[in-house]
Amino acid sequence: MANIRIKASHPSHVQFGRKLTEVRLPTVDAIIDELQGYCDVLLGREEPPIESPYLSLMEVAAAYHARAREIEMLIYSGEQNGSIKRGDPHYRVRTGQLNSFIELSKKMFELGSRRLTQEDLITRQRLDQGERL
């Protein structure tokens, strides 16, 4: 039997940090401002934080979607422990702007995914026709 070694990736190849930070529920105004900033990026009014003509939309939408779900989770937690009641400002944000943003970010992720699929098909067609990359 062959001796198999598994080489671990160097920590510099890790995209995300390992440090956990405390997460607190932001104020309603902070949530609305944060979501508006994300909308501006997803709808092309601001530059995305990733420079890639194909990956940026999908990756940014996925990250923003995850952040929105985190905020939603924090609000649900407040509802369960009784600190947020039906009709409170955080409840209204969850059922209004946050819910709409979650749907928007899902659609933008799907659009980014379709762009990647289309670019992959175009690249394969070029390779099939003998073009070199």
1 in a structural domain: no
**How many percent of the chain have pLDDT more than 90?**
46
87 in a structural domain: yes
45 in a structural domain: yes
**Segments forming the whole domain that contains residue 89:** 28-128
Gap between the Cα atoms of 115 and 16, Å rounded: 25
21 in a structural domain: no
4 in a structural domain: no
H or E element at residue 69:
helix 55-81
The domain tally of the chain equals 1
17 in a structural domain: no
22 in a structural domain: no
92 in a structural domain: yes
pTM here? 0.70
What residues contact 108, with CB distance under 8 A and at least 6 apart?
42, 57, 61
Gap between the Cα atoms of 99 and 113, Å rounded: 21
pLDDT at residue 55 tops 60: yes
Using one digit for the tens of pLDDT, what is the confidence trace for 69-124? 999 999 999 999 999 999 999 999 999 999 999 999 999 988 876 655 666 666 66
pLDDT of residue 36: 96
pLDDT of residue 9: 45
- Evaluate the CA torsion angle 108, 38, 88, 69 in order and state its sign: positive
